[in-house]
Amino acid sequence: MRLVDRYDAIVCDLDGVVYRGDPAVPYAVESLSAAGIPIQFATNNASRPPHEVAAHLRRLGLDVSDTDVATSSQAAAWLLTRHLEPGSAVLAIGGEGVAHALRETGFVPVTSVEDEPDAVVQGYGPDVRASDLAQAAYAVQRGALWLATNTDHTLPTAHGLAPGNGAMVLAVGAAVGRRPDLVAGKPDEPLYLMCAERLGVSPDRVLAVGDRLETDIEGAHHAGMDSLLVLTGVHGVRDAVAASAVARPTWVAPDLRSLFTDVVELERTAEILGREWERLDAGPASDDATGALPPELAALAD
């Protein structure tokens, strides 16, 4: 049995899994095109609306619709439907994707605390200013529900790491003296659960695919989904071996061609990883430990 045959749907991360910046990751487009089961493409990026992300995927050769893309802004708006009535005013902090998600869910995005918002949705935007963060702080202090689209502290750019939405959330938190009431993006579970709802599939029948342990894989754990760590992005085998219990993937493989790998082969890797995690959980390594990976895992690391 192939790995893809074990699941009814896939929730797939984007950067580091499907593309790196603009170009596609090797084997990603052809593998996802041949998967044969529904896919939601889930991203913590709150600044771009889904149609822009979907257009990027179509340029790479994937046959996707706008509704196949799920953003953390959409997950935040999805969460709000459980707390506010349609038509409620929501202070939208971030890029176009934040206000777009609120409007499509029936809320009214506003830009000032003087509009008496019932909630604040704070997401990343390249043009977010100190005055925008001040408006968020004022609204939270007046009792507005505070949602962060995601709490990624850094944002990779061509020049290096820039402050991400999490850094700006910390700035508002320093002013109001607390954390957000809710977080929509990975590693929290709402984004994944929204995807499962869209797919009409129980979370335990969904495979979450990602390249980052502390977001993609931990988020899958919180949502009750199996996870596949592909080694095409941020984290490698050594990272997986050292991962905390909540960030340990179900499966590890070099790239998305693993969707068509016999499960028996992947299970052997999982068993070896499991033994390494048992050693980690047992306590500090002995003085004579070399830190060498078992041969099967070392082959993945090469």
pLDDT, one tens digit per residue, over 79-125 is 999 999 999 999 999 989 999 999 999 999 999 999 999 999 999 99
Query: Is the separation of the CB atoms in 269 and 252 below 8 Å?
Result: yes
Strand partners, 183: 148
Write 102-106 long-range contacts (CB < 8 A, 24+): 102/73, 102/77, 104/74, 104/77, 105/74, 105/77, 105/78, 105/80, 105/81, 106/81
The whole-model pTM stands at 0.91
pLDDT band at 294 (very low <50, low <70, confident <90, very high): confident
DSSP assigned state of 72:
H
Query: Is the separation of the CB atoms in 179 and 146 below 8 Å?
Result: no
- Please give the backbone phi and psi of residue 252, each rounded to the nearest 5 degrees, phi first: -135, 135
Residue ranges, comma separated, of all CATH 3.40.50.1000 domains in the chain are: 3-44+187-283+291-301, 73-183
Distance CA 68, CA 302 (A): 34
Give all strands (DSSP E) within the chain, no chain letters.
Answer: 9-12, 39-43, 69-71, 89-93, 108-110, 119-122, 145-148, 154-157, 160-163, 182-183, 206-210, 226-230, 251-253
Question: What would the pLDDT profile of 188-212 be if each residue is shown by its tens digit?
Answer: 999 999 999 999 999 999 999 999 9
| Domain 73-183 part of CATH 3.30.470.10 | no
Handedness of CA 77, 78, 80, 86 (dihedral sign): positive
DSSP assigned state of 120:
E
Question: What would the pLDDT profile of 132-183 be if each residue is shown by its tens digit?
Answer: 999 999 999 999 999 999 998 887 766 777 899 999 999 999 999 999 999 9
Distance CA 302, CA 130 (A): 45
Instruction: Give me the CATH topology for the region 3-44+187-283+291-301.
Output: Rossmann fold (3.40.50)
For residue 22, indicate whether it is catalytic: no
Choosing from 15, 68, 211, 216, which is the catalytic residue?
Answer: 15
Q: For all residues of the chain together, what is the average pLDDT?
A: 93
pLDDT at residue 285 in the model: 55
Choosing from 5, 13, 115, 216, which is the catalytic residue?
Answer: 13
Query: Is the separation of the CB atoms in 293 and 241 below 8 Å?
Result: yes
For residue 8, indicate whether it is catalytic: no
pLDDT at residue 291 in the model: 65
Query: Is the separation of the CB atoms in 109 and 125 below 8 Å?
Result: no
Question: Could you tell me which of 208, 199, 205 has the C-alpha nearest to residue 228?
Answer: 208
